[in-house]
Structure formats: structure tokens, C-alpha cells
Structure 1
Amino acid sequence: MNHSLIITIILLFFSYLGISQVEEVHPPNYIKTINFKGNTPETQLPILKLGDYLTLEFDALNGNEDDYYYKIEYYNADWTPSILFKSEFMNGLDNQRIRTYENSFNTYQIYSHYQLTIPNEQTKGLKVSGNYMIFIYNSYNELMFSRKFMIYEDLAIVGVDIKRSRSIEFIEEKQRVDINISSNNIQFNNPKQTVKAIIVQNNNLNTAIYNLQPLFTIGNQLIYKYDSETSFWAGNEYLFFENKDVRAANTGIQFIDLKELYHNYLFTNFSRKNRPYTYNPDINGNYLITVVDAENPSIEADYVWMHFSLIPPKNLEPDSEIYIYGNFNNYVLDDSNKMIFDKEKNLYTNMMLLKQGFYNYKYVVLNKNNVLDEGAISGNFYQTENNYKVIVYYRDLGARYDKIIGIGEGSSINISN
């Protein structure tokens, strides 16, 4: 059976099964601080240039010094399984043990810190650009968690311009992203079929806008000048705290207590939806692990119980749920970050175990129809400084995978009408 026939059979099989988009698997409660990054100090959406190093770090708090293994898979632009064989996108082998780990030093909470770098001796590199996912298993072949990442090539120039909404209804609350794509390396033939673009606000793939097609072309330039199709709720600046010194109240912390571990109690927050916008510099939902008087925060930063509290917002829809999220928990909504109403205190409260550092966070609402509203408590203000990334995929006619040919980035700090 020849190679092309095998590929055709696989495609038909995928089509018959109705393969859907792959979703990330979230870790058990004893695995914390999954720090997936490239060449930047803070963790964020890992988008790396082809050939660059990729680093995955995480902590296991069970104290067992378990063995963990990793596997890597490749996906299409819409995060459905690719037909590429592993040898076509990877040099070397995966399903290998993560060999680099250290135990925590001088901390109340014991943990083992694991670090994986690719390329390494077993996985010598990734060959093609596009969408990837890494899966982490324990020694019993049980999936612990998975994370998406992307690799790009510099084959196109991606211009990003942030503007206010054209709609009078949302002009004070939304931000619009205009895109201009050009290339000296690729001739864009039939771009509505071969080119796909996605826009990511503040490194959050859960709220990204997918499968954008160019509105029109000028020569070899692709122009995206939509209104509602490329608009995001502007939100508000993230709240933040810093607890790099657990023995003293730092930024955003009202008081501390030492029990079995340190407990940090944040100042009570309130709804900002109906208050005037105030510029307050943030790092757009990211976080940074840091600790005073230590050489290696990865193993010397301690874990602290962080206590959040929120004054009940007015006009909250019945049966709505409030969550705290940010890049520190991969923008996940689950029981660990759900706010619980305390009748005695008349406050929404939550307690989360987080590693020392500088954290951005915000309160969001999930209504009874499971619709996420990021501005229900924070508000939406067009002046908000947000980061936008535009990721451009290209699959030429007859090609078998979606390569990422360019990345563009813009900030709404320079927003215009």
C-alpha cells in the first residue's frame, strides 16, 4: 500500500469519526505552577520560532519524587488531529522520562520541581511550524495534564492595529483589531481557502477569535478590516498582588498568618463595572515566580494559601457563578477558583494554594447559560491596555499541514479611532 493511499484512508477515517478539536487536560490538585514559556521571564502563551528552545516547568506537591513522561502531537490550524506521521514533524523520540528535577529547599511546603527542555538528547527538535500539544504522563501511563504550544516561521509580515469599535453601541466598551498580512516569500493564491488567522487577547486561547478570512486583497497584501468579527470586549486592567516575602505584607496583601503554611489575606475587592476607568499598569494576566533573598526561585519559593474576598456585586444575574482567573491557572473555570458566598461576612471568598511571586488576576462571571462575562465585575473600558497576538496559518493547495507563517503583536495602549 503506497504512502498517498494510506493518507487518503486516514483522512476518510477522521472524516467518518467526526474528529473534534483537542482540548487541554487540567492537572490534579497536587501538580501546580505549570510554567510553559519560551525566551521570556514570565510565563505566557508559548509561541516560539522554529528552532528555538522550549521549556516546560511544573511542581509536584505530593513529595513522592515520581517519574513523569512526555509525548508530543501535532495538530491542524483548528486543533483537529493532523495526518502527519510523528517522523514528519519530530527529530528523535518522545515518550521519554523527564530527567531534570530538584526538590524544594528551605520551604514549608515540600515539592519536586520538574523541568523539560526541547530540543534535548532524546527529542532532538521539531521540524515544522504549526500547532502542537505536549502530554505529561506518570509512570502508570495516566495522563496528568496537557498544554498547547505553537511554532512559527518568519515567512510573512503581520501588521496589527488596535482601534475603537465602529459601533456606537459598543464604542466605549470594545476594541477592534485590524490586520495587514504581506509576504515576499509566499504568493497568496486563493487566500480565502489557504490562509487562516486567529487573534488572541492577553494570551488567552479560550477567548480567541478563530478562522478569520481576509476581507479583501491588494496585490499580495491581505487586508482584514472588520468590525464585530474582530472585536473584543476591552475589559479592565488586571488586579494584582506580590508576595515574594511571605513574612511581611507586600503589595495587595492586608495581613499574613502562619499556620501549617503561610496564609496571605488580600484586601477585599469590589466591582469596578460602574466606576470610572483608572489606568493601573499590569502584565496582562501573566505571573512571575519570584522570592527575596534566594538564588533559585524555582525551588526556594514557598507555597502560600492566598485568601481572596469580593464584595457582592450589584445586579448580578441569578444563578451566576464568580471565578478568579488569569494565566496562573491557564484561564480555567473549576471548583478550585470558584468564589463561595459567605453569609456571615456577606462576602464572596476563595482560598488558593499559589507559589510566591507577582500575580495578575481578575473576577469573571459564568451565567446560568454557561456564557462567560469577563466584564460583569471588572467592567469594559476602551482605554484598557490589552495585548493582542495575531497568528497566521497557511496551507498551500495540495499541502498536508497548516504551517504558521507569521506572528503579529499589538497593544491597545496606542488605540485610535
Structure 2
Amino acid sequence: MRHFLTAILVLLFCPLQAQELETTPPEFIRTIQFQGEQEFTGTPIIALGQPIRLEFDDLIGDEADYFYTIEHFNFDWTPSDLAKTEFMSGFDDVRILNYENSFNTLQIYSHYNLSIPNKDTRRLKVSGNYMIKVWDENRDLVFSRKFMVYEDIALVKVEIKRSRNLKYIATKQIVNFSIDGSDNILFRNPNQNLKTLVIPNNNLQKSIYDLKPQYSVGNEQIYKYDQEAAFWGGNEYIYFDNKDVRGSTMNIRSIELLDIYNTYLFADKVRKFEPYTYNPDINGNFVVNTLQGDNDKIRAEYTWVHFYLNNYERLNGGEIHIYGNFNNYSLDESTKLTYNSKKDIYETKRLFKQGFYNYKYVLLEKDGTINEGYFSGNFDETENQYTVLAYYKELGGRYDRIVGIGSASSRNITN
């Protein structure tokens, strides 16, 4: 009995490792751009040996000291067993030295720029899940971002299908894929050692984790799920482009100079009852740009962007938010719309750096889930980009390697 009680106490006071979550930055940290060699910012997925770049603005503008650290994680985002010297050549926990102050802007800010590899952090040695953390001089965590490093060993083939369930054939998209180790890697016990991650539009929050192979053909693992690998099709993102604060563009109603520039958008409407219309987007992403100077990193203005939504759908206790990669798909008070009874419209304003931004309106349900199609609808024709990562832990291995990557666009969707 004494041993039994001791075991219970150990379980109570020695909790299991928890999944590491990204830390949301404070209000004065804005426009975080984190990317590898891909065209847009987001969660970088880079090949082993490729560089990554992190940029952000501090709106206090006092040239504060910031430091960065890098950590390695397992597939489930629990810390791996690797020592820092095993996954990194060089060292971290050093100050970010590259920064510039804004020039000739109404909103002052300091722009920070970090590239890896550099003279301190010379290279990452292994593949897998990583997280970069940015700390202030008091050793308080300011924000963190995930990224992935892969080895190009296995062949991952991806194709997008319509649902086999007629109930969802016009609203959902199915990701079918296969992972072929060929002669490069032999998958032993793939049901346990081979794990998968399916990411829509570079949005980790909406990803599907750890689908198991349904069957294999030699060393090729086949995944032909239906609802288990289904994503709501959604609708194309809408956008605004305020690279020129001197005049309005197609989606901007007016611009006003108060303490800083204010950009007023035309009112948006609920789109789910309208037929699908192809409208090219950049899948929720953004690009910083300005016409008022030759260096958008420090010459771009910050503007208050005013959003308006004509909505007559019942919210049932939910909240309306603007949604996109401009803040890593996070919902907070700065993205929440409130009802203006005098104008009979939902509205909010949020601070954005000049540029081209994708966004959409979503419903935050009472249970905390995000309903992306509540206002914009779900259509199987919507163009979305899906990425599949293959993780493999060898027998006796101490970490989850990313051994392959594949992607496909739903523009080529088939039955």
C-alpha cells in the first residue's frame, strides 16, 4: 500500500510533458515576418541547410535589447531529448544586433532583423520541429514562433479530391497522399514510427495530425481517407492594399490623417449565400509595401485600418473576428468586431503596417472553435494550398525526423 501511495504522489506531482504552444506577442510588437525561401511569411518549412529570416517591429521605438533562443521538439511539440549541441552548431541566446529605426514616419518604431545561419548560430544539424523564442533584457519571453526543418529523403505525393460523402461534396476538400521511402529509407512499423502532418494554407491551427497509413505497396505507404483527411473548402480571402496613404484604392473608401493615418474600408457583406466567384488571393498572407519610400522596412507607415461587416446572421453567443496571417491567425481584442447600433453594422479598427493584406471574417464559437465559413461560406472550388510532412523515428531513435514533404493546390481538385 505504501508503494502504491508513493506511485500516486509521483503521478500527481510530476506531470507529463505538455505540448509547447506559441507565445503571442504584446501589443507593441507588430508585423512579425518569419520565412525561409518561400515567397510569403508564415510558419517556415525549410530544407536542412536553408536559411530562415525573422523580422518584427517594436512600436515603442527605444532600441530595446532582444535576444533569441532555439529549441528542438518532437512531433507532438514536446521537448526532444537532444542536447543543444546535438541539433545546433554554434550557440544561441545572443542579442539581435541588426535593427533600424523608422525614418520620417508618424508612428515611430524600431525594425529588427535576424537571419539564421549567422556567425553565432552557424547551422542546424538535424531535421524536425523547432521553435525560436525572443526574450527581452529582463529574460521575459516576448513571443515565440514554430518552424520545421526537413530532409528530402522520402517522396510525398499529394492530390486533392472532392468528398466521397455526397453531403459534403460541394463544401469540403480531401487530402489524399502517399509516402514512398524507395531505396532511401525503409519504414519499419510505420503505424507507430511514421507520423504525418497535413497543413492547409500554412495555418498550423487548422492542421490534421498523425493519420495512419491505410495500406502499403512495398515501401510506399498509402493514405486515402475521406472525412478523416477533410478540410472545409472555405472561400477566397478578401483583401485591402494601402501601400499608398495619399489616395484610396479599389477596396478603400477613404483615408484620413489624424494622429496617424486612418484607412476606412468599404463595408463587407456575408458571402455564404452567393455563388462561388474565383478571386485570386495569397491564401491569408500579407506583403509589406509602401510607395512613400524606397525601404518599406523602415519607411512604411502604420495606419489604423477600419473594418465593417453587414451581418444579419445570428451569432448565438459567438464573436466576429477578422482573421489572417497578419497576426499568425490569432484572435484577440484587436481582431474582434463590435455592433454599432447607430449604424447597424459590426466594426473594429486595427493597426497595420502599409502593404497588401488578405483577411476574412470568422465566427469564434462559444466553445472556442473557429468557424471560418460562417460568413464567407464553404466551396469545393476554393483554391487552397495543402502541405504534407512525413515524420519518422527510427528504431532506437531519439527524435522525430522530417523525412519528406509534398504539397498540392485544390485548383487541381478531382473526384
TM-score where L is the length of structure 2 = 0.96
Deviations 1:263-283 (A, max 9, x none): 000110011111111110000
The residue correspondences of 1:179-258 to structure 2 (distance < 5 A) are 179-183=177-181, 184-258=183-257
- Give, as a single letter, the amino acid of the residue that structure 1 aligns with 2:398: R
**Cα drift, residue 293 of structure 1:** 4.7
Contact 1:76 1:130 in 2 (8 A): yes
- Give, as a single letter, the amino acid of the residue that structure 1 aligns with 2:264: Y
Gaps of 5+ in 1: 1-11
Structure 1, 60-69 or 35-44: larger mean CA deviation: 35-44
For 2:152 and 2:394, locate their aligned partners in 1 and report how far apart those are by CA, in whole Å.
16
Please name the residue that 1:136 is paired with: 134
Contact 1:243 1:251 in 2 (8 A): no
The residue correspondences of 1:31-180 to structure 2 (distance < 5 A) are 31-180=29-178
Deviations 1:370-410 (A, max 9, x none): 22211000100000000101011010111000010111110
Please name the residue that 2:6 is paired with: none
For 1:120 and 1:313, locate their aligned partners in 2 and report how far apart those are by CA, in whole Å.
53
Identity of aligned residues (%): 52
Specify the SS of the correspondent of 2:86: helix
Please name the residue that 1:400 is paired with: 398
Contact 1:389 1:407 in 2 (8 A): yes
- Give, as a single letter, the amino acid of the residue that structure 1 aligns with 2:158: V
**2:354 is the alignment partner of 1:356:** yes
Matched positions, count: 405
Please name the residue that 2:5 is paired with: none
For 1:374 and 1:298, locate their aligned partners in 2 and report how far apart those are by CA, in whole Å.
31
Contact 1:384 1:412 in 2 (8 A): yes
For 1:313 and 1:272, locate their aligned partners in 2 and report how far apart those are by CA, in whole Å.
12
Specify the SS of the correspondent of 1:339: strand
Deviations 1:298-350 (A, max 9, x none): 11111010000001232x23211111110111000111101111111111111
Deviations 1:120-158 (A, max 9, x none): 111111110000001101111111100000001100111
Q: CA RMSD in A?
A: 1.4
- Give, as a single letter, the amino acid of the residue that structure 1 aligns with 2:380: Y
For 1:359 and 1:63, locate their aligned partners in 2 and report how far apart those are by CA, in whole Å.
24
**Cα drift, residue 40 of structure 1:** 3.0
- Give, as a single letter, the amino acid of the residue that structure 1 aligns with 2:71: E
Gaps of 5+ in 2: 1-9
**2:335 is the alignment partner of 1:337:** yes
**Cα drift, residue 24 of structure 1:** 0.4
- Give, as a single letter, the amino acid of the residue that structure 2 aligns with 1:383: E
Please name the residue that 1:298 is paired with: 297
- Give, as a single letter, the amino acid of the residue that structure 2 aligns with 1:79: W
Please name the residue that 1:6 is paired with: none
**Cα drift, residue 295 of structure 1:** 2.0
Specify the SS of the correspondent of 1:110: coil
Contact 1:270 1:313 in 2 (8 A): no
For 2:368 and 2:64, locate their aligned partners in 1 and report how far apart those are by CA, in whole Å.
37
- Give, as a single letter, the amino acid of the residue that structure 1 aligns with 2:88: M
The ranges of structure 1 where at least 4 consecutive aligned residues each deviate by more than 2 angstroms after the TM superposition are none
For 2:47 and 2:38, locate their aligned partners in 1 and report how far apart those are by CA, in whole Å.
13
Aligned pair in 2 of structure 1 residues 24, 343: CA closer, same or farther (>3 Å)?
same
Deviations 1:5-35 (A, max 9, x none): xxxxxxx99x952111110001110000000
- Give, as a single letter, the amino acid of the residue that structure 1 aligns with 2:210: N
Deviations 1:234-276 (A, max 9, x none): 0000010101101110231111100011000011001111111
Contact 1:313 1:377 in 2 (8 A): no
For 2:220 and 2:375, locate their aligned partners in 1 and report how far apart those are by CA, in whole Å.
40
For 2:36 and 2:222, locate their aligned partners in 1 and report how far apart those are by CA, in whole Å.
30
Specify the SS of the correspondent of 1:298: helix
For 1:317 and 1:260, locate their aligned partners in 2 and report how far apart those are by CA, in whole Å.
34
